[in-house]
C-alpha cells in the first residue's frame, strides 16, 4: 500500500509532519483528519520534486494547483501589472479569513481556502506568497509586512498584536470592522464631493462653449450694428475673456494643467502639504466635514489598535503614519512625544488645538477609568454619526448654491450681451419716433 507524507496542523495551530498508509490521496486526507489534524500538504512518498531538500515541507496545495494557466493575454508586464488592492476587496478578504480562523481552521488552511476562491489576481498572487512565507517559518505578521503596498502598518501591527496575545481571530474581526467603517465613511465623503464636481464640470463646459462660439458671433453683430460706438464695460470684459479663451486656448489649458501639477508638487513637500491640509480644515462648507472625518479616523484607528494590545506609543506612531491630514498627523506626533516623556494623552491633545473639547473630555474620562479604547470607540461612533449628518446637510445645501452659481455666471454673460442690444434697439427706433 502506498505511503503518503503529510504536513498538518492541530487545533492550536502547531505544525505536525508524518506519514500514513493509504490507497489514494483522498483516503490519506481522511486518515489524517481522523487524527484530529487539519492537513495542508499531502503527497505520495517518492513523488516529491527532485530538487526538494530532506525535511523541507511539500509544495503547498495552492502552489501545486498553480491557479489558472496564463495565456498570452495574461503575461505579467512589470510596469503594467497592478500591485495594489482596492480597500473593498481587502476588507472582504479580512472578514473571510477572520471567519475561517474563528471556525477553528488553522491559518494556512484558511489562506489556502481563500486562495482557491479569490478572483482578484493581485490578492490571489499575494495570498499564495503569504502561504509560502508562513510555511517557511515566518509569522503571519512578518509575511504581511513583505507586501506594504497591500497591507499597511496598521494592518501588520494589529495582526502582530493578535499573534502575541493568541487572539488572531478576534483581532482580524476588529480589523475587518475597522476597514468596513472606514470604507463607509470614505464612500459618504466621496458621494458628497461628486455632486459639486459634476456641476463644476458642466459649468466649465457651458462657459467654454459660450466663450468660444457664441460671444464671438455677438461681437461681429455689435461691430456691424453699433458702427464703432463704445460698448458697456461689462460687455467689454466678457468679450476680452472670450478672446483670451478662444485665441489662447492652448495657453489657458497649459496654465490649468500647470496649476494642478503645482498643487500636486506642493502636496508632496511637507510644508506645502501642511498648508494645503490646514486650508482644507478651514475651507467653507467642507472644512467641518473634513475635520470630523479626521477625528473619527483618529479615534477609530487608535481605539482599534489599543484594544488589540498594541502599546500606546507604537499605536500613536501608526496612527500618525495613517492619518490622512498633515495637521492632524503633526498633532499626533506631539502627543506621542509628550506621552513618551510621561505625560497623559489628554494634556498634549488639549495643547495642540486640533481636537474639540468633547473629544478631549471623553479621552480624559477613558484614561481616568482605564477604559481608553472604549471611550475612543464611542468618540468614533459619535463623529461618524456627525459625518452622516454633515454629508446630508451638505448635499441639500450644495444644490441651491450650485444653481445660484450657474445662474449668476450664465446671467452675467446674458446681461453683458443684451446691454449693447438695448443701444441698438434705441438707435433703430429713434428716427421713427421723430
- Interval 213-252: pLDDT, tens: 888 888 787 777 766 677 788 888 888 888 887 877 788 7
Q: So what's the pLDDT on residue 61? A: 42
Q: Are strands 15-21 and 3-9 parallel, antiparallel or unpaired?
A: antiparallel
What's the pLDDT score for residue 38? 63
Map residue 309 onto helix, strand or coil: coil
Q: Phi/psi class of residue 342: alpha, beta or left (left: φ > 0; alpha: ψ in -120 to 50)?
A: left
User: Read out DSSP for 216-283?
Assistant: HHHHHHHHHHHTTPPPPHHHHHHHHHHHHHHHTHHHHHHHHHHHHHHHHHHHHSHHHHHHHHHHHHT-
CATH 1.20.81.30 segments of the chain:
78-180, 181-434
DSSP state letters, 371-405:
-HHHHHHHHHHHHHHHHHHHHHHHHHHHHHHHHHH
| 181-434 homologous superfamily | Type II secretion system (T2SS), domain F (1.20.81.30)
Checking if the pLDDT of 425 tops 80, the result is: no
C-alpha–C-alpha distance, residues 226 and 214, integer Å: 18
Confidence of residue 319 (pLDDT cuts 50, 70, 90): confident
Mean pLDDT within 264-275: 84
The whole-number pLDDT of residue 52 equals 45
pLDDT exceeds 50 at position 269: yes
Q: What is the model's pLDDT at position 55?
A: 42
**For residue 63, what is the enclosing H or E element?**
helix 61-65
Q: Give residue 119's Cα distance to chain centre.
A: 20
- In this prediction, residue 64 carries a pLDDT of 41
Q: What is the pLDDT of residues 27-78, one digit of tens each?
A: 787 787 777 776 667 787 776 544 444 444 444 444 443 444 443 334 444 4
The least confident of 108-122, 347-361, 379-393, 417-431 is 417-431
In this predicted structure, which of 24-33, 125-134, 424-433 has the lowest mean pLDDT?
424-433
Contact 13, 82 (CB under 8 A): no
Residue with cell string 480644515: 281
The distance from CA 5 to its chain's CA centroid, rounded to whole angstroms, is: 44
Overall pTM > 0.75: no
Give the whole-number percent of the chain exceeding pLDDT 70: 86
Q: Tens of pLDDT along 180-207? A: 888 888 887 787 778 778 878 888 888 8
* Among 78, 42, 46, CA closest to 58: 42
Q: Quick one: pLDDT at residue 43? A: 80
The per-residue pLDDT for 210 is 83
Among residues 104, 149, 79, 109, the alpha carbon closest in space to that of 15 is found at 109
User: What pLDDT, on the 0 to 100 scale, is given for residue 57?
Assistant: 43
Model pLDDT for residues 353-396, shown as the tens digit of each residue? 888 888 899 989 988 888 888 898 898 889 888 888 888 888 77
pLDDT for residue 81? 55
CATH topology of domain 78-180: Receptor-associated Protein (1.20.81)
Instruction: Write down the mean pLDDT value for the chain.
Output: 79
Amino acid at each position: 500500500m502506498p505511503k503518503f507524507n503529510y504536513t498538518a496542523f492541530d487545533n492550536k495551530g502547531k505544525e505536525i509532519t508524518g506519514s500514513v498508509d493509504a490507497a489514494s490521496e483522498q483516503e490519506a486526507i481522511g486518515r489524517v483528519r481522523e487524527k484530529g489534524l487539519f492537513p495542508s500538504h499531502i503527497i505520495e512518498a517518492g513523488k516529491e520534486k527532485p530538487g526538494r531538500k530532506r525535511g523541507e515541507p511539500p509544495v503547498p496545495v495552492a502552489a501545486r494547483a498553480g491557479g489558472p494557466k496564463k495565456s498570452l493575454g495574461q503575461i505579467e508586464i512589470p510596469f503594467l501589472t497592478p500591485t495594489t488592492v482596492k480597500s473593498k476587496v481587502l476588507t472582504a478578504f479580512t472578514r473571510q479569513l477572520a471567519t475561517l480562523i474563528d471556525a477553528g481552521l488553522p491559518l494556512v488552511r484558511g489562506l489556502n481556502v481563500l486562495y482557491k476562491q479569490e478572483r482578484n489576481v493581485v490578492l490571489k498572487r499575494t495570498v499564495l506568497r503569504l502561504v509560502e512565507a508562513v510555511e517557511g517559518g515566518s509569522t503571519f505578521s512578518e509575511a504581511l509586512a513583505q507586501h506594504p503596498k497591500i497591507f499597511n502598518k496598521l494592518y501588520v501591527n494589529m495582526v502582530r498584536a493578535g499573534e502575541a496575545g493568541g487572539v488572531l481571530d478576534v483581532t482580524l474581526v476588529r480589523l475587518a470592522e475597522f476597514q468596513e467603517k472606514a470604507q463607509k465613511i470614505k464612500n459618504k465623503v466621496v458621494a458628497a464631493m461628486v455632486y459639486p464636481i459634476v456641476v463644476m464640470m458642466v459649468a466649465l463646459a457651458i462657459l467654454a462653449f459660450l466663450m468660444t462660439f457664441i460671444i464671438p458671433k455677438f461681437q461681429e453683430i455689435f461691430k456691424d450694428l453699433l458702427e464703432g460706438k463704445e460698448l458697456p464695460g461689462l460687455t467689454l470684459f466678457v468679450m476680452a475673456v472670450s478672446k483670451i479663451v478662444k485665441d489662447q486656448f492652448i495657453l489657458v489649458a497649459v496654465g490649468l494643467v500647470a496649476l494642478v501639477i503645482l498643487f500636486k508638487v506642493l502636496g508632496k513637500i511637507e510644508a506645502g502639504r501642511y498648508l494645503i491640509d490646514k486650508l482644507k480644515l478651514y475651507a467653507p462648507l467642507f472644512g467641518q466635514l473634513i475635520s470630523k472625518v479626521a477625528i473619527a479616523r483618529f479615534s477609530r484607528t487608535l481605539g482599534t489598535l489599543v484594544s488589540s494590545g498594541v502599546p500606546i506609543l507604537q499605536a500613536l506612531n501608526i496612527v500618525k503614519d495613517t492619518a490622512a491630514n498633515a495637521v492632524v498627523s503633526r498633532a499626533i506626533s506631539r502627543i506621542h512625544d509628550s506621552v513618551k516623556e510621561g505625560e497623559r494623552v489628554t494634556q498634549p491633545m488639549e495643547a495642540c488645538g486640533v481636537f474639540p473639547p468633547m473629544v478631549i473630555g471623553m479621552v480624559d474620562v477613558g484614561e481616568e477609568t482605564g477604559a481608553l479604547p472604549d471611550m475612543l470607540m464611542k468618540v468614533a461612533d459619535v463623529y461618524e454619526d456627525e459625518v452622516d449628518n454633515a454629508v446630508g446637510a451638505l448635499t441639500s445645501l450644495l444644490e441651491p448654491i450650485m444653481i445660484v452659481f450657474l445662474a449668476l455666471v450664465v446671467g452675467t454673460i446674458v446681461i453683458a450681451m443684451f446691454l449693447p442690444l438695448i443701444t441698438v434697439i434705441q438707435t433703430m427706433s429713434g428716427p421713427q419716433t421723430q
